[in-house]
A and B are shown apart, each in its own frame.
Chain A
């Protein structure tokens, strides 16, 4: 059953990152499965208005003021009129928010519930519980999640964290991991012919004098463990002379890293590449043998899957959801401390030199483990569950207990009084504040229904779907004509469209 889905988040392209690529890949796979997907995000510099991406994925760049790290200013209600307009004109049924820190996502879920739409939310990050910022964020998350239909986390650790932060019933939280497009992360030696049919050859050993390159690709923020990296690089290089470092990415810690290099005179052994684009990540990765990921907190860590897919041996800290991501033969785990990282990196170097690790096989293994099609299928099942297509018992096999006041099978009721009950339980003060917000939101909704009624909003035409496998030439012609009719510049997208189709065929 095809749905009309709106993905909402502050984070989207052109800004690079994990959430962005997750949203894009998931959306395009859902479109392939016959759904209609649009993305709502805020306007970026040079990226405003309504745009179409490959495959007819429509992106609304809502003009909003951004404050911190590309997050919009939280105004709670100001997003409602335009959000309602978009939802009505696109005939949206399910609103899917991404990233708990994104203000647009939180607001969209509140408004969507007011409008009587199904909502889901994907949480991509882990948070603490102790400091003031976290407490505030957690309250906000609780506000959003106390009335969401279903929640999706990218790893089991992330699920645990989210359940604790927002006091949710664990059964209404699903785990659907990220995935990688394995084709974009091929190792250097990988050729289609040699790896498809032939058995893998003998392991290649690295000589004791051969240079081993350690790659680090990360935004240089505190939470990515740049301080650990800075402390351990000189020690690793001191014990292992034939090692080089290749570091890509930028951020506030880049200066510290440069100072470390200056202080220890390591310019010859540590190469800083600065920021790299996502398409270039693979080209950087294949230059190395080991991928070092010293992150302090990580919900999933797509980048280590990408590294393994490129045939790199992964050394990472045992934090957050990282231990769930890759099987043990691809990784070496370290505690998030300087001594252990040095020791484990040394061990990984020795293992590589002995030829004990078959990094050349990683690519195909990763390819089998992670695919976006699988992620889309699992997300679709969540949509079925929240919209009542799956029965309650089917969707929650162990019987969710916390889903009080549900209407139809497993579906949360939209009645304002039920929503207020859920919000009221959020805390002594917060509960009342949240109730107030919900009531104001509802009044605003009624106001908009009167002064900007639905019949005054035009319904959009859907992007013409490609008809699969019947009369190729004819279909293409008709397709192009309808696309042109949709809007003139649609034609320009056709080559991409076809290219992707070809790639899919190559894959299968």
Chain B
């Protein structure tokens, strides 16, 4: 019982993915997207995508039909896709639905279909250029929020703690020259300390090549 409650209340598990194509470039991505390896999981994923697309498309079609019907225009386009019978029944169905119910529920449905369902935040470090933080938006089709900080204005990158709600959390922050506030990396996920330390070490090693290597050897 207690175990069930604990599992229900637990936040989605976060994974850290590291991508280092060259020694001078590294990208860390923290994500709550579940990794699907098994066949049923992969199938479920694709079926989910298909269902979303189908749902979204049919909502749009319904809205379009309603608009055509209510402004007394021909819905001839529909007979291309469906046959004449289908067109007629759809038009009748759309006519029977009043706008005041259709519009909000269609919006809600579209919003639900576009929900991303997972969070993803990343830090990309390019030696000699700078670093870029990025946070995905909660909806599909919207671009992620990114922030690029050039090397010349990075003063430091460190891990510290802060109060967040009823907790004290670790965070990774970048000190930017000429700004009062630090830039928090992974601001929405706030991954756990072990992850942050990995990212911190890698980012420092990548940003400050020589010094970073020194420290790594000292640590060993």
Contacts and interface: CB of A to CB of B under 8 A. Distances in A.
Say whether A associates with B. yes
Interface of A: 48-50, 60, 62-63, 81-82, 85-86, 89, 450-453, 456-460, 478, 481, 484-485, 487-489
Shortest 9 CB-CB distances between A and B: which pairs? A488-B158, A81-B166, A458-B193, A50-B161, A451-B9, A488-B156, A481-B218, A82-B166, A85-B167
A251 B166 CA distance: 35
Interface in B156-197: 156-163, 166-168, 170, 192-194
28 contacts: A48-B163, A49-B161, A49-B163, A50-B160, A50-B162, A50-B168, A60-B168, A62-B163, A81-B166, A81-B167, A82-B163, A82-B166, A450-B5, A451-B5, A451-B9, A453-B6, A456-B10, A458-B194, A460-B161, A481-B215, A481-B219, A485-B215, A485-B219, A487-B160, A488-B157, A488-B160, A489-B156, A489-B160
Contacts of B2: 450
B170 A458 contact: yes
B218 A63 contact: no
Nearest to B9: A451
A481 B201 CA distance: 13
A49 B158 contact: no
A82 B162 contact: no
Nearest to A448: B166
Nearest to A490: B158
Nearest to A43: B163
Contacts of B215: 481, 484-485
Contacts of B156: 488-489
A89 B168 contact: yes
Given A60-B168, A458-B170, A488-B157, 6 more contacts: A50-B161, A50-B168, A82-B167, A85-B167, A453-B10, A458-B194
Contacts of A50: 160-163, 168
Contacts of A487: 158-160
A450 B218 contact: no
A456 B169 CA distance: 11
Contact of B6 (A86, A450, A484): A450
Contacts of B166: 81-82, 85, 452
A165 to B, nearest CB: 33
Nearest to A458: B193
A115 to B, nearest CB: 15
Nearest to A84: B166
Interface size classification for chain B: 20 to 34
A119 B132 CA distance: 47
A63 B162 CA distance: 11
Contacts of B170: 458
A86 B169 CA distance: 10
Contacts of A488: 156-160
A456 B9 CA distance: 11
A63 B159 contact: no
A460 B168 CA distance: 10
Contacts of A459: 193
B153 to A, nearest CB: 16
Contacts of B168: 50, 60, 82, 85-86, 89
A489 B158 contact: yes
Given A450-B2, A451-B9, A481-B218, A458 B160 contact: no
A108 to B, nearest CB: 15
Nearest to B167: A85
Contacts of B160: 50, 487-489
Interface in B125-173: 156-163, 166-168, 170
A264 to B, nearest CB: 51
- The interface centre, meaning the residue of B2, B166, B193, B215 with most chain A CB atoms within 10 A of its CB, is B166
A81 B167 CA distance: 7
Contacts of A81: 166-167
Contacts of B5: 450-451
B9 A450 contact: yes
Contacts of B157: 488
Contact of A63 (B9, B163, B193, B194): B163
- The interface centre, meaning the residue of A451, A458, A481, A487 with most chain B CB atoms within 10 A of its CB, is A458
Contacts of B159: 487-488
A6 to B, nearest CB: 13
Nearest to A79: B166
Contacts of B6: 450-451, 453
Nearest to B175: A488
Nearest to A60: B168
A487 B168 CA distance: 15
Nearest to A478: B218
Nearest to A447: B5
A62 B11 CA distance: 24
Contacts of A49: 161-163
A86 B192 CA distance: 15
Contacts of A481: 215, 218-219
Contacts of A86: 168
A129 to B, nearest CB: 38
Nearest to B159: A487
Interface in B1-53: 2, 5-6, 9-11
A89 B218 CA distance: 27
A264 B184 CA distance: 61
Contacts of B167: 81-82, 85, 452, 457
A485 B163 CA distance: 21
A488 B160 CA distance: 8
Nearest to A461: B193
Nearest to B195: A458
A481 B10 CA distance: 36
A23 B155 CA distance: 34
Contacts of B219: 481, 485
Contacts of B193: 458-459
B177 to A, nearest CB: 15
A458 B170 CA distance: 8
A445 to B, nearest CB: 13
